[in-house]
Amino acid sequence: MALQPRASGKLISALSKHVTIIEEGVQKLGDVLIEEVKSNRLSPNNFSQTDVHPKADDPWAPDWLFVVDTLNFCFWHHEHEEGWKVEGYTGYFALCAAINRAQREKVDILNPKFYSVITEEKLSKILRSDTKVTCPLLSERLKCLHEVGNVLLEKFDGSFENAIKQADGSAIKLLSIIVDNFKCFRDEAVYKGHKVAIYKRAQILVGDIWACYQNKDLGYFEDIDEITAFADYRIPQTLLWYGVFKYSDDLLSKLKANEILENGDEEEVEIRGCSIHAVELIKEYVAEKLDKSKINSILVDHFLWDFRRKHAKEILEKGLPFHKTFSIYY
């Protein structure tokens, strides 16, 4: 059995050779987040800051979140290349725009009876780009949709809302339901003899439900604080920017040379595991200074991810690379 993400992050950080968490950076970023919380710029309401997300009163919201987070992985491209783009959006937001476009075009994309047998040709049309670049890992996305669609029909009467209700207000129980039933969400690795879990997409699915419903009704979780950061390839860039992370010279040279790290490699697991633990340390620092109820790892993650999108150019100019991995897990 794998260690849960928080315990995995702590273990990986303790054993890490290539990534170091710097205490001064934790405090520096923590102070920034304290001001963000005080000014209400950082709150669950930020989930609705873009029109591409569903609202809590949309009856199809749970199944939209499930389909999007099933497909929410590996949108990166090299800095000098043109990327996949939909209705002017890039990356994750392009995916949201593509699913919304499919809904407007009356494609039954939220129905597992449809997507459990969808063809690659149909999926390619749904995810078609503004540019000549096709959506990366299309065949892997097809397999994920087929897998989760069939499980949803077999075990949850065709709606992810039933899985949420089974969790009975527990984020950790919902996380277990997701990773136990949907194999493509089971983001695990063996690190120095230890079986560890990162669960990026599974946790982001729980976090998106919580944020969409603003911790009310279907999205209320009594233990939401148990969810950790969503370890991807963008969060570490913000941690580097604020001096929370320090990479070994060897790792930094690999990243600057655009070497591909395999999912499960020691260096890749260290970047992701240390991301989780760093966010836990930042959250604890902020919680000591503020009302604990005002901060959790999901909100810290939202800030880090948004910061990287807003400051992509400056981060690139400063020479802070992201690690490049082809993976369905993030």
User: Catalytic positions, please?
Assistant: 232
Q: Where are the beta strands (DSSP E) in 113-193?
A: 188-191
Instruction: Measure the CA dihedral 228/233/238/239, to 10°.
Output: 60
DSSP state letters, 57-99: T-TTHHHHHHHHHHH-------TTS---EETTEEHHHHHHHHH
Token pair for 77: 């491209």
Phi, psi of 264 (to 5 degrees): 100, -10
Helix (H, G, I), strand (E, B) or coil at 186: coil
| Maximum Cα interatomic distance, the chain, rounded to a whole number of Å | 53
What residue has token string 């020479």?
319
Which has the closest alpha carbon to 226: 277, 172, 280? Answer: 172
What's the CA gap between 93 and 305, in Å, rounded?
12
Residue 297, CA distances (Å) to 6, 69, 195, 281 in order: 10, 18, 22, 10
